[in-house]
């Protein structure tokens, strides 16, 4: 924002020009005040840039049928692990935090080309300490395990998702699949340290221009993120849509992908009404994300 310094102002006011020129200067100063007011108002409207950042692939020979109901078992599916960065408004916000490669579950996925999520951010000139917020779509290991890499981040997660993750999930007859005990302990510690906000339900603007929504039930109460960038509205769906096939055909995920298949489809229909263009709905694990948007570095695309 432009604002003239007091030094500059006093120079103008005390210089020995004629009364006529002094009047012109007053007019000039007035226009500066008006201009800085306009620019100031514009600066208050958040403007964000949004990126998808790949930090691992999988050598497992997946097909689309492994991830979307009714998808052809003959179509091979390139599976990626990624995080998303929302940059602007003096914040660097991650949506999900990825995982550390020592995690047992990663072995099943035959993880390849792994780089630690904080190292992947170097490609955008960011260090781990620069991350101000992490919005967790859900607490599965491949999305939450990396939270501890970011020492200054405040964490946002749905209250019901958090409560289930740290509590009921571990009771007999409940579901802790995809949950990791190390991550439970980490999240409890972060909550004790006052670094977690539990978001209570659907359609909440948690940060100016950034809203979260529920309904897909990928986990107990998973959420997705709508970003108003100033130019576009973008949905970062994370695993509320695993792959593009589900979105393109409005079909639920393969078994195990949601607690509510009808809700999952309804959520995708709803996402379509939120975005400025359907291509601005970004699924959680489809490698095609990295060929549909312009690359800004290897394994980094800007969603625009
Ligand atoms: Zn996932």
pLDDT, mean over the chain: 89
Check residues 301 and 35 and name the one with the higher pLDDT: 301
> How far, in Å, from the CA of 77 to the mean position of ligand 1?
15
Contact 224, 199 (CB under 8 A): no
* C-alpha–C-alpha distance, residues 26 and 186, integer Å: 60
> How far, in Å, from the CA of 140 to the mean position of ligand 1?
7
Average pLDDT over residues 83-104: 96
> How far, in Å, from the CA of 33 to the mean position of ligand 1?
51
Average pLDDT over residues 143-160: 98
Is the pLDDT assigned to residue 31 strictly greater than 60? no
CA distances from 100 to 107, 111, 236 (A): 12, 11, 22
> How far, in Å, from the CA of 218 to the mean position of ligand 1?
10
Q: What is the pLDDT of residues 203-234, one digit of tens each?
A: 999 999 999 999 999 999 999 999 999 999 99
Is the pLDDT assigned to residue 161 strictly greater than 60? yes
Is the pLDDT assigned to residue 33 strictly greater than 90? no
Is the pLDDT assigned to residue 39 strictly greater than 90? no
> How far, in Å, from the CA of 154 to the mean position of ligand 1?
21
> How far, in Å, from the CA of 47 to the mean position of ligand 1?
28
Strands (E), 80-128: 80-88, 91-95, 111-112
Query: What pLDDT sits at residue 46?
Result: 79
pTM as predicted: 0.85
Q: How far apart are the first and last CA of the chain?
A: 25
Least Cα distance to 155 among 72, 93, 77, 111 occurs for: 93
> How far, in Å, from the CA of 275 to the mean position of ligand 1?
22
> How far, in Å, from the CA of 162 to the mean position of ligand 1?
16
> How far, in Å, from the CA of 290 to the mean position of ligand 1?
16
> How far, in Å, from the CA of 230 to the mean position of ligand 1?
28
Query: What pLDDT sits at residue 23?
Result: 52
Average pLDDT over residues 133-160: 98
Query: What pLDDT sits at residue 15?
Result: 47
């Amino acid at each position: 924002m432009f604002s003239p310094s007091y030094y500059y102002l006093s120079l103008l006011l005390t210089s020995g020009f004629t009364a006529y020129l002094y009047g012109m200067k007053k007019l000039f100063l007035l226009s500066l005040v008006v201009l800085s007011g306009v620019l100031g108002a514009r600066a208050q409207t958040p403007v964000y840039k949004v990126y998808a950042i790949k930090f691992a692939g999988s050598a497992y020979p997946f097909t689309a049928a492994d991830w979307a109901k009714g998808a052809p078992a003959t179509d091979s599916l390139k599976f990626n692990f990624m995080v998303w960065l929302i940059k602007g408004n003096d914040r660097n916000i991650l949506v999900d935090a990825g995982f550390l490669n020592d995690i047992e579950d990663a072995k099943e996925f035959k993880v390849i080309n792994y780089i630690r999520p904080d190292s992947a951010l170097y490609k955008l000139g960011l260090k781990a300490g620069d991350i101000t917020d992490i919005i967790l779509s859900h607490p599965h290991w491949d999305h939450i395990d990396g939270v501890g890499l970011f020492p200054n981040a405040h964490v946002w997660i749905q209250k019901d998702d958090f409560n289930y993750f740290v509590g009921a999930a571990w009771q007999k007859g409940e579901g802790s699949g995809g949950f990791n005990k190390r991550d439970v302990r980490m999240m409890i510690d972060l909550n004790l340290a006052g670094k977690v906000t539990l978001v209570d339900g659907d359609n909440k603007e948690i940060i100016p221009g950034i809203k979260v929504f529920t309904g897909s039930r990928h986990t107990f109460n998973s959420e997705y993120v709508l970003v108003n960038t100033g130019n576009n509205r973008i949905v970062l769906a994370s695993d509320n849509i695993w792959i593009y096939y589900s979105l393109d055909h409005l079909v639920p995920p393969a078994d195990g992908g949601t607690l509510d298949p009808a809700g999952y489809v309804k959520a995708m229909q709803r996402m379509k009404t939120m975005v400025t263009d359907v291509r601005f709905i970004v699924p959680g694990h489809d490698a095609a994300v990295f060929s549909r948007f312009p690359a800004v570095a290897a394994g980094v695309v800007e969603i625009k």
